[in-house]
Structure 1
Amino acid sequence: MTNNQSPRAAPPLRDYQADTIDRMLSYEDRAALCVLGTGLGKTRIFTEFIRREVAENDHHCLILSHRAELVHQPLTYLSELCCGIELAQQHAHQEPVISASVQSLVGRLARYNPRAIDTIIVDEAHHAAAPTYRKVLDYFPAARIFGFTATSHRGDGIGLDCVFKDVLCEYDTLWGIQHGYLTPMNCVQISLKYKMGSVKINEYGDFNQADVARVMSGTAAGVVEAYLAHARGQTIIFAASVDEARDIVALLNKRIGKKVAGLILGNTRNRDRVLEAYRLGALKVLVNFGVLTEGTDLPSTETVIIARPISRTNVGLYAQMVGRALRLYPGKTTALVIDCVGISDYSICTAATLIGKPLPEEKPKEPETTEDKLPDEDKVQILKDKEIPETWIKEQKEVSIMEKGKGVDKHGVAWLGTSKNGYILIIPNMVYRISAPDEAGNVYLRKNKKCSRNAVPPQFVFDYVYQDLQKNHPHDAHIWDESKRHQWDRQPMTSQQFDLIHRFAPNIILDTKTMTRGDASRLIQLLLYKNDAAEKGGAGHAS
């Protein structure tokens, strides 16, 4: 079919975009991941690559997405090419470029020759570990695969190495701001009057949404209060639940006296009209729940309000939310983040890695239950009118997201920090030490007495040690795996630990009745670190 998408003038390629395309063209392995922060132009990169693949190599390309907006979006850059669509009632007909919804295509694979596709582009590629994606990718064994995402970290901790072999490039949000490709940002952190209580982490690495909805019930007034006190320009609000999103819109329009806020939910039928009203300035605020984190290009946005609690294990979602306000736009000099849930206490960027938890075994679906999962004493009651406080804001302060820098993924390994900003981990017959970063931010790794010859980025070391532990020390996981260590930590100290402590510190007095294995293990690591530093006279790589 002919591409009837409204054409979009392609802006000139930036240097890093051209470099990424060159890397893609010269890549010879099966699958690679490209990590680019929101607003750094991943769609511009892969559509230019597709244009060259079709024009110069006569290749057939498949773009794989998980939402309708993402299926249509790249085709606006490819208006001169013949493109097909696999989405709901739309079907492709062997066009050289096909943009497909993974949910639609997975049921239509029998219509395709497995050798018909030369290149696959996976948009929002952190989803690629899902079974539906892997089924589609495995169906085309000869195709090269390039994934594009703002974060290589899934909330559930599953590694993307089940799909991708290499990280081809990494340009994160902090890099984009530092190099002038994204708008600088300020942040105001506001503490609202709610308590997370016994809200649990779900299997996807984020807070259980039903629990969050109960905890946050009634806080819409606090979000509106924060907006009126601090927001500037066009604003996107990420609400904690569907009900809270509706309440925020109603309260905001009532307080201002006219319709300034529009609502976007997963089932909003007139979504395109609401978005267009926002783009034209007829709406000043977009309130959504779980929709505008991906595939939304609204560069006029100046303020983002995060009113949905996010687990620290899901900081990729945090970066995607903030990214909605970071695109460059005429007249916008800074973006403002209003953090109502405390997520700005953590780094907005984490070093890219493909390593993570292995794919879980698929489990049969459990029958639905109407029983409340929370214990009776921990249930959060919905506030009555007379219980609603005059102000929801307990305190507020400015924070610097930039100063927190880039984080690392330690893969749940129970590293102990040293006084010199290094790390140490002791398991039977093995001691891992990571040095403090040098001026370039790189570190050395020591395994027992052997030290790496060259300093490397910290994420490389955390990845390597995690893989080494999984391969060579799985029986010691109760020591090095934080998720399994809790029970081991609480058991009484062993005689071997007692002897080892006195070997390093003969005069130390221990309370053997109260000291646990966890206490002893941490003490041994610190004593070993001090002893090692003393032997070296403070010298050596692994400090």
Structure 2
Amino acid sequence: MRCTKTRDVNGGGCGTKDLALGDLRKRRPSRAAGKQRARKRPGRPRRIFHFACFCAMEADFRARRREASLPAGNRTSGRGVPCGGIRILRPQCEQVCYAFPKGWPIEGRETATQDRSTLKLRDYQQECVEVCDALPPGSYLVQMATGLGKTVTFARLARRGRVLVLAHRKEILEQAQSYYDVPVGIEMAERASAGEPVVAASVASLVRRLDRFAPDDFDLVITDEAHHAVAPSYRKIYDYFKPRLHLGFTATPNRGDKVRLSDVYERIVFARDLKWGIDQGHLADIDCRQVTVDYDARKIKTSRNSTTGQQDFRLRDLDEALNTPETNDQIAAAYRRYAQGQTLVFAASVDHAYELARLIDGARVVEANTSPEERERLISGFGRGEFPCLVNNLVLTEGTDIPGIETVLIARPTKNPTLYTQMVGRGLRRGPGKESVRLVDCVGITYDSGLCAAPTLLGLDPEKVLARYRRQAVEGPLSTMEERFLSFDETPLSWALRAKRVDVLGRDEGWDLHDVNWVQLGDGSLTISTERVVLRIAPVDLVGASVLEIVDRKTGLVLSASEREPLQRLLDAAHERLSRKAADQRQLWDRKSADRWGSRPASPKQIALIEKLCAEAELSDLYDGLDGELTKAQAGQLITHLIERSKSERAAKARKGRADARQRRDIERLHRQGRVPDYVFRAIRFDELDGYTAWRIVKAAEEDAWDA
């Protein structure tokens, strides 16, 4: 008999000679003596497999049975084949052959419909595997955006023992079976593993079954959607097992509740975010749009998921708020105005989905009660363009591959960053002629800081942008959103109000700021200026780590940069440097010193200079946006920023191309004369120096800006 590559005996095979279970036992009478013969079950085809595969499989199983001391109920049935069925892979076969023992119930058993274990990894995926395989024992985090292939990446990690994959969604557990090239057991609901080398487990199920495993059963633990790792159910599992290596994989750049993951993971070892995927051409760019509809997100009750600890809106209350005639008409109008091409709509409930489909011409609905055959027909027809709009109620958030989607309309608000990323992710795959996907967010009439929106995809906080600029910052290509956030944060009104942000940072998130008068920028970074340098702490990552840079104030050159360390350690280092090297400038950086004089009203000279340097529209925004009169501290920050902006605008013409030979000679001459300090000269990279920076260095030296 020949291999069929399928579970049935019909069809062509790879040419390697195989034996059915009964044939194999007839050839090995000595070992089969006294054993129960396998028989073909009535009405079912025989399961066939390679002879060599069976021998290797049987030896492997016997070894694993000795090591794991499996209970009798999980041992072989008749011929040494595990009762769970073993997945057997041969190089000649494109698919997976299964061997099933006598009497095994086939219904409900997982089978592989597609072997993904031999997929060629992309360069960045291979790089991630090499980085993770070289890690010393410990607990580390990997950030990889939706659509960049987290599952196929962690399935290729080197196995030095058994592997545990943790997830809280059924889809991830099922995906793991097709990406691994060894048997994968499932721990979820009524299904249980049987000593397989890889176990994919639902967190909600495994947390109640820990007594079935020994603490040292697994060499490697992999947590998918690792931003949930601080939840109590996850922590109970981590406290029980003692693996050599724990790796967390996440696509979410931050947690919605601002909880850091440093209690679980030591550091981020590999990061490829959504913007990187777009810039490298792996993912489609996102054209972001916002539409205001008549609901108030602050009035919708929330509940906390007991497994992940993530808060989100209650489904019944969400349906009551969104599924109204007025709101539905507004959502349908948003579709007619903004949708382009094939449009996928996410609704708040099943009833909401049908109501929206009734208002959108040609729309169809797929929901949980849609039969598998009808669901496949609808998705296929939508992919072929037979109708323009498919409305669903969270049944197409994971695993749906429709490259032709050109618009994603979200009419189901959420506070869950993972869920939001999954909904948007349905449109990220690129296709022929598809460079971007349009994202239409239906937001409420009131601003809710916890509501997920397009900035969530990049870890940006819309609250950092003033309300009057917020919509302008959000709408447009996602690939340039970070730049828009920074540009709208560089306004006179923003400069005057920045100090309040850092007070909140220290109070709500528990950082000890040492009374340093930090300024927080729109991207979340912290800066403080002295007469000579600017100290800058980059935005913190998921484990609460960042980098401290020392930047020359006159030239913008980075004089030094720290290793990535916990934020509190950087705050301590910055305070120590300021106390040691800028003690005589305490009024510039110490909050208590600044508060003593800074709370007084701005002087007439300060106001006159501000009005001279500001445009008329900027002045109008400034005075309208302030709660009271301008203070000395606010005026001081404004004047500093305005003067720097004025210098930059006047010097912009010099910013074209590389620094020329004359500029380089001038810098070297000024350094020999002692007018460019050694610490500045050492920071200059002449092969990368641009004309603008060279101009600033020469100008600062000629003005004796560094004269002590």
Is the pair's TM-score, using the shorter chain for normalization, greater than 0.5? yes
* Pairing of 1:314-393 with structure 2 (within 5 A): 317-330=419-432, 332-341=434-443, 347-351=455-459
* More off after superposition, 168-177 vs 323-332: 323-332
- Cα distance change on mapping 1:48 and 1:446 into 2, 3 Å: same
Give yes or no for the alignment of 1:117 onto 2:198. no
Give yes or no for the alignment of 1:196 onto 2:299. no
Residue number among 97, 104, 114 corresponding to 1:7 in the alignment: 114
User: Could you give the per-residue CA deviations for residues 445-488 of structure 1, whole angstroms, max 9, x where no partner exists?
Assistant: 449899677x563336996699649999xxxxxxxxxxxxxxxx
Q: Secondary structure at the match of 1:158?
A: coil
2:173–2:202 CA contact under 8 A, matched in 1: yes
Deviation, 1:326, is 0.6
Q: Determine the C-alpha separation between the residues in 2 that align with 1:324 and 1:109.
A: 35
- Cα distance change on mapping 1:68 and 1:32 into 2, 3 Å: same
Q: Determine the C-alpha separation between the residues in 2 that align with 1:188 and 1:30.
A: 42
Q: Determine the C-alpha separation between the residues in 1 that align with 2:281 and 2:273.
A: 12
Letter of the 1:213 counterpart = D
Q: Determine the C-alpha separation between the residues in 1 that align with 2:174 and 2:235.
A: 22
2:366–2:375 CA contact under 8 A, matched in 1: no
Give yes or no for the alignment of 1:459 onto 2:540. yes
Q: Secondary structure at the match of 2:422?
A: helix
User: Could you give the per-residue CA deviations for residues 400-427 of structure 1, whole angstroms, max 9, x where no partner exists?
Assistant: 333312799xxxxxxx942799998469
Q: Secondary structure at the match of 1:148?
A: strand
Q: Determine the C-alpha separation between the residues in 2 that align with 1:18 and 1:197.
A: 42
Q: Secondary structure at the match of 2:215?
A: coil
1:430–1:448 CA contact under 8 A, matched in 2: no
User: Could you give the per-residue CA deviations for residues 246-300 of structure 1, whole angstroms, max 9, x where no partner exists?
Assistant: 3224554xx43xxx52323xxx255754553344226754433345444544444
Number of equivalences? 441
* Pairing of 1:473-488 with structure 2 (within 5 A): none
2:177–2:183 CA contact under 8 A, matched in 1: no
2:142 matched residue in structure 1: 34
2:145–2:250 CA contact under 8 A, matched in 1: yes
Q: Determine the C-alpha separation between the residues in 2 that align with 1:435 and 1:195.
A: 32
1:85 matched residue in structure 2: 186
5+ residue gaps, structure 1: 354-396, 409-415, 473-493, 510-517
Give yes or no for the alignment of 1:16 onto 2:124. yes
1:43 matched residue in structure 2: 151
Deviation, 1:183, is 1.7
Letter of the 1:46 counterpart = F
Question: Which protein is bigger by CA-based radius of gyration?
Answer: 2
Q: Determine the C-alpha separation between the residues in 1 that align with 2:241 and 2:460.
A: 26
Q: Determine the C-alpha separation between the residues in 1 that align with 2:635 and 2:641.
A: 10
* Pairing of 1:79-228 with structure 2 (within 5 A): 80-192=181-293, 194-196=294-296, 198-199=298-299, 202=302, 204=310, 206=312, 210-218=316-324, 219-228=327-336
2:634 matched residue in structure 1: 526
5+ residue gaps, structure 2: 1-83, 88-110, 305-309, 445-450, 462-473, 486-492, 507-512, 549-565, 573-591, 608-625, 648-699
Q: Determine the C-alpha separation between the residues in 1 that align with 2:494 and 2:475.
A: 28
Letter of the 1:101 counterpart = S
Q: Determine the C-alpha separation between the residues in 2 that align with 1:470 and 1:200.
A: 39
Residue number among 245, 248, 255 corresponding to 2:353 in the alignment: 245
RMSD, aligned CA: 4.8
Deviation, 1:83, is 1.6
Residue number among 431, 437, 452 corresponding to 2:516 in the alignment: 431
- Cα distance change on mapping 1:337 and 1:346 into 2, 3 Å: closer
User: Could you give the per-residue CA deviations for residues 179-235 of structure 1, whole angstroms, max 9, x where no partner exists?
Assistant: 10012333444444x142752574655556555433322233443444455544543
Q: Determine the C-alpha separation between the residues in 2 that align with 1:448 and 1:425.
A: 18
Residue number among 358, 365, 375 corresponding to 1:262 in the alignment: 365
Q: Determine the C-alpha separation between the residues in 2 that align with 1:457 and 1:135.
A: 33
- Cα distance change on mapping 1:41 and 1:242 into 2, 3 Å: same
1:239–1:308 CA contact under 8 A, matched in 2: yes
Q: Determine the C-alpha separation between the residues in 1 that align with 2:317 and 2:524.
A: 41
Q: Determine the C-alpha separation between the residues in 1 that align with 2:630 and 2:313.
A: 30
Q: Determine the C-alpha separation between the residues in 1 that align with 2:227 and 2:524.
A: 26
Q: Determine the C-alpha separation between the residues in 2 that align with 1:279 and 1:295.
A: 12
* More off after superposition, 209-218 vs 62-71: 209-218
1:288 matched residue in structure 2: 392
1:424–1:433 CA contact under 8 A, matched in 2: no
Q: Determine the C-alpha separation between the residues in 2 that align with 1:208 and 1:407.
A: 33
Letter of the 1:113 counterpart = A
Where relative contact order (Cα < 8 A, 6+ residues apart) is larger, the structure is 1
Letter of the 1:307 counterpart = A
Q: Determine the C-alpha separation between the residues in 1 that align with 2:502 and 2:240.
A: 42
Letter of the 2:413 counterpart = P
Give yes or no for the alignment of 1:309 onto 2:413. yes
1:501 matched residue in structure 2: 599
Give yes or no for the alignment of 1:60 onto 2:162. yes
* More off after superposition, 107-116 vs 442-451: 442-451
- Cα distance change on mapping 1:244 and 1:470 into 2, 3 Å: farther
Residue number among 377, 387, 391 corresponding to 1:277 in the alignment: 377
Deviation, 1:115, is 0.2
Q: Determine the C-alpha separation between the residues in 2 that align with 1:173 and 1:274.
A: 33
Relative to its length, the structure with more helix (as a share) is: 2
1:246–1:263 CA contact under 8 A, matched in 2: no
Letter of the 1:243 counterpart = D
2:140–2:268 CA contact under 8 A, matched in 1: yes
Letter of the 1:6 counterpart = T
Q: Secondary structure at the match of 1:90?
A: coil
Deviation, 1:140, is 0.9
* Pairing of 1:433-448 with structure 2 (within 5 A): 433-434=518-519, 445-446=527-528
Letter of the 2:270 counterpart = C
Q: Determine the C-alpha separation between the residues in 1 that align with 2:432 and 2:290.
A: 26
Identity of aligned residues (%): 31
Q: Determine the C-alpha separation between the residues in 2 that align with 1:505 and 1:469.
A: 38
- Cα distance change on mapping 1:470 and 1:209 into 2, 3 Å: farther
